[in-house]
Chains A and B, each alone.
Chain A
Amino acid sequence: MILLANIKKELLLLSRDRAGLLILFVMPMLLVLVLSLIQDNLFRATGETATRALFVNLDQGDLGTELKTQLNATGALELVEQFSGRTIEPEQARQTVFAGDYQFAIIVPADFSARLNSAADETVRAALDQKNLERAPEPLILYFDPTVRGVYRTAVTNALYRGLLGLEIARKGEALSRLLPEKVQESVEREMAAYGGGIALDLPELSSGWARQSLLELREESAYPEKYSTLPTSVQQNVPAWTLFGMFFIVIPLAGTLIRERQEGTLTRLMTMPVSNSSLLLGKVIAYLSICLVQFGLMLAVGRFILPRFGTPVLELGSAPVALIVVALVAALAACGYGILVGTLARSYEQASTFGAVSIVIAAALGGVMVPVYVMPKVMQGLSVVSPLGWGLDAFLDIFVRNGNLASVFHRVAALGGFFLACIIVASVVFRHRRRGT
């Protein structure tokens, strides 16, 4: 069968091309491994797990230590107080952050307790006297690395504000507990002075813990708790994203083989033989499709078995294996179709490899592979709907995270299949046009 001969020839040619094999298998696996780990770290840095920060406590009272306890309780920060068993000096902390070794340093001043207690007392007194207190807030210095992204910085400052707010409320509560009975006693004595005074009241004291007690709780729940309990992990976002990216890079060797056949004259020779264009094309598509699916399997294996060894969560694949295979198949078809189109349109390997690579990076960026679509500007969000990588990623995430099935990903599957057909039709028209020399 001629189709089998074409498939076998393509696989044989690939097996002789070590650089091509490296691009097809090793590079995407490395890509998934490295980028998933890097992105995983970013996920962690932006709130999923604790961020390490220097904590220099110069406070001579006990509020510095209490702040540390509050910050640790938020779970967002892991505080480092010593280098090699030695206390960190403020200037040393600043230099360390400046050098980029740590991204944050919190400096608690020596009079932190005294000033906070005094400020709490003054604030409560003013409130009890019904006076407006114009008082500048006490400063707490946070050094940060200027290269740190905004979202990362926000996560840390939010944690710090939560810690400070807790401390502040506790101090104000404590001041109120102490000053309120005094103020009531004073008022009673003043009012009773006309009657001779000397009345001692036994006013009840407020307990000190009331200010710390939470009245509201934020409970996070999955939007699909009854159906699917797994929340999206960094691995679930990154593995399919970078797998699609790697799969689409099949465009370069596939386009390369078309261009080489044209340049070396083998295509011309084949055109004088009793073999149809569709058989030649189908042979290439099937050979490279099988390569893509092997790539896909290997990259899922990286997510499931290798990445967890580096501390990431295990890749959960959802509960619709048939839908997963169908999405992988049409995504691979879309990649192959695009490779055929690029190989047909490009006049040289250099053109194909440059245009192919750049266009895939653009499609990946638009499709949310690198940055989630929801954080893009409105214009880019509008453009993202044209990215086949975005369609594939959306379908994978639907299966992995939202308990998707074949029906729920159908429109994405249809879009990818349509993209493949459109690429093949355009490539065929261009090829026939050129071949006829008209």
Chain B
Amino acid sequence: MVVTQAATEKILSTRDLVKVYAGSDRPAVDGLNLEIDRGSIFGLLGPNGAGKTTTISILCTLLQPTSGQAIVLGQDVRNQADAIRRRIGVVPQDIALYPSLTARENLRYFARILRIPRDRIEQRIDECLELVGLRDFSHKRVADFSGGMKRRTNLAVGILHEPELLFLDEPTVGIDAQSRNLILDRLGELNRAGMSMLYTSHYMEEVRQLCHDVVIIDHGRAIAAGTPDELVAGSAEAENLEELFLELTGRELRD
């Protein structure tokens, strides 16, 4: 199944993407085809073990695909990883920060790794901290932050270098409603400013609110695609995205 958007510039596309881990007898990603428009927020949904994290890992150059093609920002993930890394941002599911450093020290380190010019680093750190509502806590160690503050700092690192495409792997998991609301608001602002996003989440309401297009995958394959409203409208029984998700992926537990 090929998920095709309107004939606008594609910021990301995959063709027959396959990933089989060593020692595994079945593929984690099994012939996945995706196309994402520049400027859109694309939701990648699926139950646990569906292949979401493997897909994102391939797209942000962490893993090599077993076969198939993945083009990100016009570059092939197989052999142009470094060029891709300069232009993408990643907000991982883990709080990928150094707990014993302050928020500013974390951002300063990652800013230098992301090759932000020295004379812009402090200004850019201030802008990002301001965006996530942590300007007044910049000198506090991340270890002393609440869960919501850590998630917001995690986002701040992802957007430091103003990436063209931002990968968000469940960026709001396990945090308070206020922090979640702020993160969703800021992601909307960033998208309106031109940042494209690939977003995964288990919160269907969040996906409906934020994403322009959605693909639901299971067992490494796409099983539904379209806008959230189109998908719900196309179902005879589902009244919302969550019901549709359960209808497509089943109600048995996936651990």
To the question of whether A and B form a pair in one complex, the answer is: yes
Chain A residues in the interface with B (C-beta under 8 A)? 2, 5-6, 8-9, 12-13, 16-17, 264-266, 268-275, 435-438
The 10 closest A-B pairs by CB, nearest first: A265-B94, A265-B96, A5-B112, A16-B100, A269-B96, A272-B90, A274-B85, A272-B60, A274-B86, A437-B63
Considering only CB atoms and an 8 Å cut-off, how many residues of chain B contact the other chain? 34
User: B112–A437 contact, CB under 8 A?
Assistant: no
User: A268–B101 contact, CB under 8 A?
Assistant: no
Closest to A275 in B: B113
The proximity string for B residues 111-151 relative to A, scoring 1 for CB distances below 8 Å and 0 otherwise, is 01111000000000000000000000000010000000000
Closest to B21 in A: A437
Quick one: which of B19, B86, B88, B98 has the most chain A CB within 10 A? B98
Closest to A437 in B: B63
Closest to B108 in A: A5
| C-alpha spacing A2/B108, complex, angstroms | 12
Quick one: which of B61, B62, B95, B157 has the most chain A CB within 10 A? B62
* Cβ distance B246 to chain A, nearest Cβ, rounded Å: 29
| Given A5-B109, A274-B82, A437-B63: A266 and B96 interface contact (C-beta under 8 Å) | yes
A-facing residues in B17-69 (Cβ within 8 Å): 19, 21-22, 57, 60-64
| C-alpha spacing A264/B115, complex, angstroms | 23
Subset of 14 A-B contacts with CB under 8 Å? A2-B113, A2-B115, A6-B113, A13-B98, A264-B94, A265-B92, A265-B94, A268-B94, A268-B96, A274-B114, A435-B62, A437-B21, A437-B57, A437-B63
| C-alpha spacing A131/B115, complex, angstroms | 102
User: A274–B115 contact, CB under 8 A?
Assistant: yes
| C-alpha spacing A17/B101, complex, angstroms | 10
User: A266–B97 contact, CB under 8 A?
Assistant: yes
- The verdict on B164 contacting chain A, using a C-beta distance below 8 Å, is no
> Which residues of the partner chain A approach B113 to less than 8 Å between Cβ atoms?
2, 5-6, 270, 273-275
* Cβ distance B170 to chain A, nearest Cβ, rounded Å: 12
> Which residues of the partner chain B approach A275 to less than 8 Å between Cβ atoms?
113
A-facing residues in B69-106 (Cβ within 8 Å): 82, 85-86, 88, 90, 92-101, 105
> Which residues of the partner chain B approach A273 to less than 8 Å between Cβ atoms?
85, 110, 113-114
Closest to A279 in B: B113
Dominant SS among interface residues on chain B:
loop
| C-alpha spacing A17/B97, complex, angstroms | 16
| C-alpha spacing A437/B24, complex, angstroms | 11
User: A13–B96 contact, CB under 8 A?
Assistant: no
> Which residues of the partner chain A approach B157 to less than 8 Å between Cβ atoms?
269
* Cβ distance B57 to chain A, nearest Cβ, rounded Å: 8
Closest to B109 in A: A9
| C-alpha spacing A346/B57, complex, angstroms | 23
| C-alpha spacing A9/B22, complex, angstroms | 34
> Which residues of the partner chain B approach A13 to less than 8 Å between Cβ atoms?
98, 100-101
User: Which residue from B22, B62, B101 sits with its C-beta under 8 Å from A12?
Assistant: B101
User: B22–A437 contact, CB under 8 A?
Assistant: yes
* Cβ distance B65 to chain A, nearest Cβ, rounded Å: 10
User: B64–A436 contact, CB under 8 A?
Assistant: yes
User: A17–B100 contact, CB under 8 A?
Assistant: yes
User: B62–A268 contact, CB under 8 A?
Assistant: yes
* Cβ distance B55 to chain A, nearest Cβ, rounded Å: 13
A-facing residues in B166-188 (Cβ within 8 Å): 167
> Which residues of the partner chain A approach B92 to less than 8 Å between Cβ atoms?
265, 268-269
| C-alpha spacing A270/B88, complex, angstroms | 12
Closest to B157 in A: A269
| C-alpha spacing A6/B92, complex, angstroms | 21
> Which residues of the partner chain A approach B110 to less than 8 Å between Cβ atoms?
269, 273
Closest to B112 in A: A5
Closest to B114 in A: A273
| Given A2-B112, A5-B109: A271 and B62 interface contact (C-beta under 8 Å) | yes
Given contacts A8-B109, A272-B62, A272-B88, 17 further A-B contacts (CB under 8 A): A2-B112, A2-B115, A5-B109, A9-B101, A13-B100, A13-B101, A264-B95, A264-B98, A265-B92, A265-B95, A266-B98, A272-B90, A273-B110, A273-B113, A273-B114, A274-B86, A435-B62
* Cβ distance B78 to chain A, nearest Cβ, rounded Å: 11
| C-alpha spacing A435/B90, complex, angstroms | 17
Closest to B167 in A: A272
> Which residues of the partner chain B approach A272 to less than 8 Å between Cβ atoms?
60-62, 85, 88, 90, 167
> Which residues of the partner chain B approach A436 to less than 8 Å between Cβ atoms?
63-64
User: A16–B96 contact, CB under 8 A?
Assistant: no
> Which residues of the partner chain B approach A2 to less than 8 Å between Cβ atoms?
112-113, 115
| C-alpha spacing A273/B110, complex, angstroms | 9
| C-alpha spacing A266/B97, complex, angstroms | 6
* Cβ distance B54 to chain A, nearest Cβ, rounded Å: 8
Quick one: which of A5, A268, A437, A438 has the most chain B CB within 10 A? A437
User: B22–A269 contact, CB under 8 A?
Assistant: no
> Which residues of the partner chain B approach A265 to less than 8 Å between Cβ atoms?
92-96
> Which residues of the partner chain B approach A438 to less than 8 Å between Cβ atoms?
22, 64
| C-alpha spacing A436/B19, complex, angstroms | 11
> Which residues of the partner chain B approach A274 to less than 8 Å between Cβ atoms?
82, 85-86, 113-115
| C-alpha spacing A129/B62, complex, angstroms | 101
| C-alpha spacing A126/B203, complex, angstroms | 111
| C-alpha spacing A270/B109, complex, angstroms | 11
| C-alpha spacing A155/B19, complex, angstroms | 72
| C-alpha spacing A8/B98, complex, angstroms | 13
User: A9–B60 contact, CB under 8 A?
Assistant: no
| C-alpha spacing A398/B96, complex, angstroms | 48
* Cβ distance B5 to chain A, nearest Cβ, rounded Å: 24
| C-alpha spacing A264/B150, complex, angstroms | 12
* Cβ distance A349 to chain B, nearest Cβ, rounded Å: 14
Closest to A263 in B: B94
> Which residues of the partner chain A approach B94 to less than 8 Å between Cβ atoms?
264-265, 268
| C-alpha spacing A13/B99, complex, angstroms | 9
* Cβ distance A232 to chain B, nearest Cβ, rounded Å: 44
* Cβ distance B166 to chain A, nearest Cβ, rounded Å: 11
Quick one: which of A265, A270, A272 has the most chain B CB within 10 A? A272
